[in-house]
C-alpha cells in the first residue's frame, strides 16, 4: 500500500480509533512494544496478538490491507529463523508473535492517525531539526509522488522493463530515477524559496489538530 493511501485512510477515516487521542495511542504502542520485547511466554504473546487482531476486526479500518501490511516484517524474521540451528516451535512462535504484535500495532496506528499528528506528538522529545526534516519529508512525498507516477506510466507506455533485457531495463530505470532526482532537487529548491517567502524561519509550528 502506498503512503498516499495510508494517509488517506488516516486523515479521512471515521472509526472510533480515529477519535482516540494521539498521545494515548502512542502510549499504547509503547506498552505493546515493551511487552513484545520483554515477554518470553508464547501464550501471553499470543493473547496480545489475538487482542490486536480483535481490534483490527472491529475497528472498521480496511482489515485485509492492514493484515497484509503487518505480515511484511515476517520476511526478515524468516531470514533470521533459517539461520538458527535446532530451531524449536516455541522459539519460532515466540519470534513470530513478537514481530506480528509490533507490526500490527504500528499498522493500526498509521491507518488511524495522520503523520502530522504523530510528528506533532513526537516534537515533544525530538530535536527541532529532526521535526523540521520530518515535516518537510512528509510534504515532499506528496509533491514528488505525482512526478514518479507519471514517469512510471511513461516507461510502461514505451515498452516498460523486462527481465529478459536486464542491462537495457536497468539503464531505463537508471535514467528514470536520474530524471526523478533532478526534478526532485529542483522541486526542493522551489519549495525552500516558497517557504522562505511565506516567513519560514527554520522551525515548524504545529497547530492543526
Partner 1 sequence: MSHIHIPDGILPLWLWVLGYILIGIFFIIEAFYIKKSQKQAKFSLISIMAALMLLTMSIPIPFPVPYHINLSVLTGIILGPTLAFFAIFTSNLLLVFIAHGGITVIGLNTLVIGIEASLGYYAFKFLYKKTDKIFFSAFTATFFALIISTFLTIGIVYAGTHNFSTFSNSHCSNKGVHQEKLSVHNEKHLDNEQIEQQKHNKTEEKFNIKRFLSLMFIFGLIGWILESSLTGFIVSYIKRVKPDILHKFEKEKDIEKIKNENS
Q: Which parts of 146-205 interact with partner 1 (CB under 8 A)? A: 148, 152, 161-163, 166, 169-171, 173-182, 184-185, 187-189, 191-192, 195, 202
Of 99, 117, 120, 121, the one binding partner 1 (CB under 8 A) is 99
C-alpha cell at 144: 514528488
Q: How far is CA 71 from the centre of its chain?
A: 13
Site for partner 1 in 2-21 (CB under 8 A): 2-3, 6
Q: Confirm if 2 and 105 have CB atoms less than 8 A apart.
A: no
User: Distances from the Cα of 10 to the Cαs of 109, 133, 156, 169, in angstroms?
Assistant: 9, 21, 30, 36
Is 34 near partner 1 (CB under 8 A)?
Answer: no
Query: Nearer to partner 1 by C-beta: 53 or 191?
Result: 191
Piece in contact with partner 1 (CB under 8 A), picked from 15-23, 51-59, 70-78? 70-78
Quote the radius of gyration of the chain (alpha carbons, Å): 21
Q: Confirm if 73 and 99 have CB atoms less than 8 A apart.
A: yes
Of 95, 116, 117, 123, the one binding partner 1 (CB under 8 A) is 95
- Number of C-beta neighbours around residue 82 at 10 A: 8
> If binding means CB under 8 A, how many residues of this protein chain bind partner 1?
81
- Calpha distance 136→130 (Å, rounded): 10
Query: Nearer to partner 1 by C-beta: 43 or 51?
Result: 43
In 3D space, the residue among 111, 120, 134, 127 whose CA is nearest the CA of residue 52 turns out to be 111
Piece in contact with partner 1 (CB under 8 A), picked from 12-20, 47-55, 56-64, 82-90? 82-90
Site for partner 1 in 104-143 (CB under 8 A): 104, 106-107, 109-110, 115, 118, 127, 129-130, 132-134, 136-141
Of 72, 150, 154, 159, the one binding partner 1 (CB under 8 A) is 72
What's the start-to-end Cα distance of the chain, in Å? 25
Query: Nearer to partner 1 by C-beta: 17 or 99?
Result: 99
Amino acid at each position: 500500500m502506498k503512503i498516499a493511501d495510508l494517509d488517506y485512510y488516516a486523515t479521512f477515516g471515521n472509526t472510533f480509533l480515529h477519535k482516540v487521542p494521539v498521545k494515548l495511542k502512542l502510549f499504547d504502542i509503547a506498552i505493546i512494544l515493551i511487552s513484545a520485547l520483554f515477554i518470553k511466554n508464547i501464550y501471553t504473546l499470543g493473547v496480545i496478538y489475538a487482542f490486536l487482531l480483535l481490534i483490527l476486526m472491529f475497528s472498521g479500518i480496511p482489515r485485509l490491507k492492514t493484515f497484509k501490511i503487518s505480515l511484511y516484517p515476517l520476511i526478515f524474521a524468516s531470514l533470521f529463523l533459517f539461520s538458527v540451528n535446532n530451531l524449536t516451535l516455541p522459539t519460532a512462535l515466540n519470534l513470530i508473535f513478537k514481530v506480528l504484535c509490533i507490526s500490527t500495532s504500528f499498522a493500526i496506528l498509521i491507518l488511524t492517525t495522520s503523520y502530522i499528528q504523530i510528528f506533532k506528538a513526537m516534537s515533544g522529545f525530538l530535536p527541532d531539526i529532526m521535526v523540521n526534516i520530518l515535516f518537510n519529508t512528509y510534504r515532499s512525498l506528496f509533491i514528488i509522488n505525482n512526478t514518479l507516477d507519471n514517469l512510471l506510466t511513461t516507461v510502461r507506455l514505451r515498452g516498460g522493463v523486462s527481465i529478459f533485457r536486464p542491462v537495457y531495463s536497468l539503464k531505463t530505470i537508471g535514467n528514470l530515477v536520474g530524471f526523478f532526482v533532478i526534478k526532485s532537487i529542483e522541486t526542493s529548491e522551489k519549495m525552500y524559496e516558497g517557504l522562505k517567502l511565506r516567513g519560514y524561519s527554520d522551525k515548524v509550528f504545529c497547530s492543526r489538530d
